[in-house]
Amino acid sequence: QVQLVESGGGLVQAGGSLRLSCAASGRTFSSLAMGWFRQAPGKEREFVAAISRGTLITIYTDSVKGRFTISRDNARNTAYLIMNSLQPEDTAVYYCAAVIQRYTGADLPRGLNDYDYWGQGTQVTVSS
């Protein structure tokens, strides 16, 4: 079992930054690919970013490339999403997700149904 606990959301003005954290349970963290998703009011939940185990490959959705950075610290069992140059359209509940990654060279999953473990979500609100 993997438990994910998110933190770091809040209110920020347009152009500002936030760092989201996702603390994961114990011994399996290094075997997980980690992802971030978000869901804005009235919209479907969408993929934001992911990072692999081992080789630390990262992928991003086009709308956040150059602004967001996903990272992980295996010693702390924690994944992060650093968000810069935030815009009102980034306002959403942000969810951490995880899935066991068998092969280090495998393509990172982008689909909602590809992830097995989910955090509770943390609200990010960007004001203009």
CA distances to 11, 24, 55, 62, 97 from 2, rounded to whole Å, are 29, 7, 21, 29, 10
What is the rounded distance in angstroms from the CA atom of residue 103 to the CA atom of residue 109?
12
The pLDDT tens digits for 28-71 are 799 999 999 999 999 999 999 999 998 899 999 999 999 999 99
Which single residue is written with the structure tokens 């990072």?
51
pLDDT tens figures, 80-112:
999 999 999 999 999 999 999 887 777 899 999
Strand, helix or coil at 30? helix
Cβ-in-10-Å burial (0-12, 13-18, 19+) of 62 comes to: exposed
Q: Between 25 and 92, name the one with better pLDDT.
A: 92
